Chain A
């Protein structure tokens, strides 16, 4: 009976995770993701490059609602660098003493401003489609990291018999195949200051790395505490078991 219960438990636990697939075809980079696994961690270089890709390729249409400039410290930028990045943006503040709203350079505490004032403007500029906010994308899709990576690389000609309407594109990773977003990454879209490769695969992997961080900024500390917690609780379990054996042994005498 005990074995059956454990099997049922495993099935319940793993079931939703396995069922979460479906939709398009997903691939992952050959090297895997450094943030996977119990000792997973982020690669600061990849995140900085991915941030650059976001700014130069994605940010024209996609907002990043939940990331403030100060959060970029996680990517390895120091205070001065963050101030400089923020200062390139203007945000509305106010009202001032006369009751007027005014524009000022962004500060570290401001969130990254959205490219559009509202959803309607976003739709009007994108043929009726709303570019989703990217802060949580890596958690808002099944196998989010692989999904983003595959979506960047999944643009192909539509297979025989699939009608692609005007303004739509075919993508093997997108559920249903037809996506409004035109292909964003072609290879050599950006120039990295650290000389890293700029193939479509490399750029997509860097961007995915950055977007995984925006979705789950506490991943590193979570896994670090997790390893300690599992280690401690394993010892607690073994000790409880032997204490139990010992106490019950008195009973049999």
Chain B
């Protein structure tokens, strides 16, 4: 790439020695993007934005937060009351955490619907699942930091899960706690890791984007771009389209932050942690509820833990479970039904995870868990063999021209 394309002499001088401007130019104009991406393709950018908001607000919060069991709760209240606009920074951090998961869940289900995990994008998908796991760890540890009742008891329940691991379970739990119960060393190491992991996530995101740019975005039709007539440049077409998504995201986030800041939290976390008093119902943050339901669906502790991690493990091998050569659900009529059933099943699991583990809820949790695993381990492999898919269009341009329904 020649540096002569830049008119600014300073830019030209720098680019000759450090070609960052050429790289940006390359991503902006030369990176071909399928021309038919719909608004579902906004969510990767939105997830990146959410991470940036989390890191910026988090660093500011850390300036006023005290990671000590005697002072953590009080320091958060000090942020809420005495730090200039501290309430705003904290409410943005709290609510963006939830929005981050909303955005990532939509991003994942979009990938499921349009078959974005299929060859040659298997590693892209797997890196995404790694990011998701890191997010869950980060969010869990962040929820512990205010040292409220749910912080403490959530930490107790979740860390105790690891004691189910045969032989080394108790040692793992002692290591996580830094002692023999959830206490000050636990809070300190969680704060340390909560600060570290977002930067690890950023690193994996770089790999995620490198993998993405190897073959470019998938698209709603799920067939590869055949040439320049099928693609457009990222800028200005997708920068402006992403801007619409960013505006919508910020608007909804503002409504949550300013008018319902505690709706996605739990009132018990405004009670200081008390090791002597167990809350009536210990529930994790809403975004963990489907996995919590799977955990509790199994009467055996080790079995529950295995199944809970298994629920994410199946996502790692998903590209090899679904062998159908057709990517997009638009041309897979039966798969499409199963996709919506899986979405309903996941939401049902989320609802059940928030209910007490008794009566009809236990049975429903078991059925919903069975359906979740059957979807990935039975239905998807069978569909790959037996499903009659619809004929695929010849190219991306063809259906776009053939129908009057524009992509705008």
Contact = CB atoms under 8 A, between A and B. Distances in A.
A233 B252 CA distance: 9
Contacts of B350: 12, 15
Contacts of B91: 222
Given A15-B354, A247-B237, A241 B35 contact: no
A190 B270 CA distance: 30
A144 B267 contact: yes
Contacts of B251: 230, 233-234, 236-237
A240 interface: yes
A234 B257 CA distance: 15
A226 interface: yes
Contact of B254 (A1, A12, A142, A233): A233
B258 A222 contact: yes
A144 B280 CA distance: 17
Contacts of A30: none
Interface residues on A, range: 35 or more
Nearest to B250: A233
Interface residues of B, number: 53
A139 B267 contact: yes
B351 interface: yes
B240 A247 contact: yes
Contacts of A15: 286, 350-351, 354
A218 B264 CA distance: 19
Contacts of B343: 4, 8
Interface in A1-24: 1-2, 4-5, 8-9, 11-17, 19-20
Interface in A129-181: 132, 135-136, 139-142, 144, 175
A124 interface: no
The interface centre, meaning the residue of B74, B88, B258, B340 with most chain A CB atoms within 10 A of its CB, is: B258
11 contacts: A1-B40, A15-B350, A215-B270, A218-B80, A222-B87, A225-B88, A226-B255, A234-B251, A236-B251, A251-B237, A252-B406
Given A175-B280, A236-B247, A251-B237, 4 more contacts: A15-B351, A15-B354, A229-B254, A252-B406
10 nearest CB pairs, A to B: A226-B258, A140-B270, A237-B247, A233-B251, A17-B263, A218-B87, A229-B254, A139-B270, A136-B270, A244-B240
